[in-house]
Structure 1
Amino acid sequence: MAGFVGWYILVLFLFLKKSQVVLAAGNGSVVVTFHNIHEILNSNELVLLSFYTNWCRFSQLLQPIFEAAAREVHRKFPEPGRVVFGRVECEEEEDVSNMFDITKYPTLKVARHGFVSNKEYRGQRSVEAFVQYVEKELSDPIKEFTSIPELNSAEGGEGLVVGYFENKLHPEYDNFRKAASLLRYDCKYVVGFGNITENLRPPKQNLIIFRADASTANHREYYSEYSGNMNDFRDLVHWIREKCKPLVRELTFDNAEEFSEEGLPFVILFYNEDDTGPIQEFKAVVHKVLADEKRVNFLSANGKLFIHPLYHIDKTLEDLPLIAIDSFRHMYSFPRFEDIHQPGKLQQFINDLFSGKLHIDFHRAFEENEVKNIDPEDFPPVPHESKFKELLPSKHRYTLINRSRDEL
């Protein structure tokens, strides 16, 4: 009898403990700790985590908005396991903060099906904006095709992942749906079922392919079939992420903060919006000889939008197209755009950044008083103070954790 009572108490305790999480979500956000973080992440489709400290004024401003948004989201999506707002007090939960590599307060991380997204929430901090964000995140990113012409017309310029499945109830499709949900901004997704896909996949098997427009020269591969285990969610996510990531991404004011936090120097093509041909030239060169270069981010940027950094390095729209490296301490301009077609020229420019040669050569030239005797084509790129470091997370929006960045 005593054993039965003990078992009953244990079951009741576990039930109440789990119920506390659900009830907390209904009343607002859930307190996230090192002991419940994995349970929360793995038992909910979408989790929005606020990493904060009690003394941070930006955290204090966000907290009541975050709580009100959590209540409103729960009212709209009350189903258990759908969406949860969680909060992590970083000084009390230092292990959780370190797990997510938090460098500013408040940081708003997004997780899906146990995976943390590469993209943080960086939108407006209002109840309405949070609710709209959740509604968009919970929408279905996959478009179903019902005919071959419809499939053929699906645009794959920025990367298209196509699923051919026996039916919607197949467990492998459930994994595909979850992966597409997690990586909704990495690619476009289409799917077909049943008879329409019979001649497009092996008999009694499902198939997932990646395809892209070869004329854009912006992916490592333009066609690939997934050969892994479709029941292995992590492997499928890794495959999609690798296939979909473009070699050259477009820099905007909306994504600059996100790109800067990746911690890699920018290799930027500044182009004139009336002449986009250099973009394809740049992509083609990166695809041909720099596809495996992992130390930098290759970006393209509309020179008119980013005119201030151009002025800073003594350039105007008349000087475009122009390539420059920004290390977040200095900016260096590539001598001549057309030289990207010379074998190894752009690669050497990147190598010279990491060896310190760009910086050292410039100062040596002045120290030896040889400036006037150097051919302009051979003159080392002039280092200017970085302007893109201003697009790092702002001290007017976050409390930043001090971390020095060495010259690269």
Structure 2
Amino acid sequence: MKLTGSLDILILLAILVSIPSLITANSAVVVTKENFQEILNSNELLLLSFYTDWCRFSQILEPIFEEAAAKVHQKFPEPGRVILGKVNCDVEELLSDQFDILKYPTLKIIRNGLISNQEYRGQRSVEAFVQFVEKELSDPIKEFHRIDELTNAEVGDGMVIGYFASKDHVEYDNYRRVASLLRDDCRFLVGFGDLTKNLRPPGKNVLIFRGDPSIRNQKHPYAEYSGNMTSFKELTAWVDKVCLAMVREVTFNNAEELSEEGLPFVLLFYNKKDLSPIQEFKNAIHAQLENETRVNFLTADGELFKHPLFHLGKSMDDLPLIAIDSFVHMYLFPEFKDIHRPGVLKKFIDDLFSGTHHYNFHLALDAQEKSESTIDPAEIPPVVRESKFKELMPSKHRYTLVNRTRDEL
């Protein structure tokens, strides 16, 4: 999860207080600029629907969201746990601007008072909303009871391990809050008492990060937290830094969210029958492009994304292959094996931002249009295709889109 803006401006909360007068058993809470801060300060989880009365998608969602709010309140009636709220963007323009709402309805998630750019993008049904809340309020940390469980634990993209004297400690409470916020970006484990006494200094609690052992040259293969463990801000920043994977998997479930980050996709299309190219791709990125922030590095199951492959004139038999999708055009990387040649993949990305790919696109078009062209066919750049992943961006068939424009490559 990428946090909005600097962590210096994130809203931090330490104490949960109750405001039962704002909660009804039958409906979502109406959120206004007057009560927003109080609601924010008082709840572990907020799911806010930003809507307008005239938006037909908002109208479709309203009765579903209201029923979900009632069921969530019935399941979690205790004050301070969760609120499903709604914000009328025509009335609450300041709140709409604060959350940078670009489409209706937008469902924003706020955990422990921390405003991020994350949205709810799952199924819009009563059952799905209730299941989402149940998952969000479940314990994000798995407790281990034997040291050998650590040895056999699956690290995935990364794992944070806590060695604590006991559960009854403010530092562990803070660890749980951070784990709840970043549960989708990392795995979290914890051990207590005598089990961990040889793994931490006497009277001290320790947090370490363990990176994916299959990736060479990664930036954070191992790290120990040295900051203030009672500081939600500091601990969140550290976990976010070590856990955010450089290479992520794109799926139909997260493509919309990834596209809204606004960065072009550098995609590895792979065949599930051979996963070795994924490790090669990750190793190349970590070794050569660890400071590259202009693009999103992603892996894509070729079977799942057959349509973009077909659009590129490729099939499963051509995998693995790499392409850039700029949300305007798709550009094909010549040979997958060239990722091992220092500088080649970087130049491929640089050529996007220098305009070289775009120039070659027009050069290829001109060559095709001139039947009398004397250009050697071998020198004509490959045909560039229109973006396919832009179709996975927020759709006009799901949202009413605000008329704002941005420059795109």
Instruction: State the TM-score, normalizing by the size of structure 2.
Output: 0.90
Query: Cα distance 1:184–1:204, how it changes in 2: closer, same or farther (>3 A)?
Result: same
Shift of 1:237: 1.0
| 2:142 partner letter | K
- Take 2:24 and 2:292, find their aligned partners in 1: how far apart are those partners? 44
Shift of 1:340: 1.2
Match of 2:376 in 1: 373
Match of 1:347 in 2: 346
| 1:364 partner letter | L
1:50 touches 1:107 (CA, 8 Å); kept in 2? yes
Match of 2:56 in 1: 57
Note the alpha carbon deviations across 1:149-203, whole angstroms, 9 max, x for none: 1222222132111011111111011000011111111111110111111111122
1:48 touches 1:86 (CA, 8 Å); kept in 2? yes
Match of 2:65 in 1: 66
- Take 1:144 and 1:304, find their aligned partners in 2: how far apart are those partners? 36
Q: Does 1:337 align with 2:340?
A: no
1:157 touches 1:216 (CA, 8 Å); kept in 2? no
- Take 1:184 and 1:345, find their aligned partners in 2: how far apart are those partners? 35
Match of 1:32 in 2: 31
| 2:233 partner letter | R
1:219 touches 1:245 (CA, 8 Å); kept in 2? no
Secondary structure of 2:25's partner?
Answer: helix
| 2:400 partner letter | T
Q: Return 5+ residue gaps in structure 1 as ranges.
A: 1-17
Note the alpha carbon deviations across 1:313-357, whole angstroms, 9 max, x for none: 111222211110001111110111111111111111111111211
- Take 1:341 and 1:257, find their aligned partners in 2: how far apart are those partners? 30
Shift of 1:36: 2.4
Shift of 1:404: 3.0
Match of 2:94 in 1: 95
- Take 2:325 and 2:365, find their aligned partners in 1: how far apart are those partners? 22
- Take 1:325 and 1:300, find their aligned partners in 2: how far apart are those partners? 12
Match of 1:177 in 2: 176
Q: Does 1:112 align with 2:124?
A: no
Shift of 1:407: 3.5
Shift of 1:311: 1.1
Match of 2:242 in 1: 243
Shift of 1:51: 0.5
1:218 touches 1:247 (CA, 8 Å); kept in 2? no
Secondary structure of 1:214's partner?
Answer: coil
1:219 touches 1:247 (CA, 8 Å); kept in 2? no
| 1:267 partner letter | V
Match of 1:10 in 2: none
| 1:373 partner letter | D
- Take 2:150 and 2:339, find their aligned partners in 1: how far apart are those partners? 37
1:164 touches 1:191 (CA, 8 Å); kept in 2? yes
- Take 1:299 and 1:193, find their aligned partners in 2: how far apart are those partners? 37
Secondary structure of 1:95's partner?
Answer: helix
Secondary structure of 2:223's partner?
Answer: strand
1:358 touches 1:381 (CA, 8 Å); kept in 2? no
Match of 2:398 in 1: 397
| 2:167 partner letter | K
Query: Cα distance 1:118–1:161, how it changes in 2: closer, same or farther (>3 A)?
Result: farther
The equivalences for 1:157-172 within 5 A come to 157-172=156-171
1:219 touches 1:246 (CA, 8 Å); kept in 2? no
Shift of 1:42: 2.3
Shift of 1:366: 5.2
Higher helix share: 1
Shift of 1:405: 4.0
- Take 1:152 and 1:140, find their aligned partners in 2: how far apart are those partners? 22
- Take 1:268 and 1:320, find their aligned partners in 2: how far apart are those partners? 12
Percent of pairs with identical residues: 63
2:71 touches 2:130 (CA, 8 Å); kept in 1? yes
- Take 1:208 and 1:305, find their aligned partners in 2: how far apart are those partners? 37
Instruction: State the TM-score, normalizing by the size of structure 1.
Output: 0.90
| 1:339 partner letter | D
- Take 2:220 and 2:57, find their aligned partners in 1: how far apart are those partners? 43
1:271 touches 1:322 (CA, 8 Å); kept in 2? yes
Shift of 1:53: 0.6
Match of 1:382 in 2: 383
- Take 1:351 and 1:241, find their aligned partners in 2: how far apart are those partners? 27
The equivalences for 1:223-238 within 5 A come to 223-238=222-237
- Take 2:281 and 2:327, find their aligned partners in 1: how far apart are those partners? 22
- Take 2:176 and 2:63, find their aligned partners in 1: how far apart are those partners? 34
Match of 1:280 in 2: 279
Query: Cα distance 1:22–1:220, how it changes in 2: closer, same or farther (>3 A)?
Result: farther
Secondary structure of 2:214's partner?
Answer: helix
- Take 1:106 and 1:328, find their aligned partners in 2: how far apart are those partners? 23
Note the alpha carbon deviations across 1:249-280, whole angstroms, 9 max, x for none: 11111111111111111000011222221111
RMSD: 1.9
1:326 touches 1:388 (CA, 8 Å); kept in 2? yes
- Take 2:343 and 2:71, find their aligned partners in 1: how far apart are those partners? 56
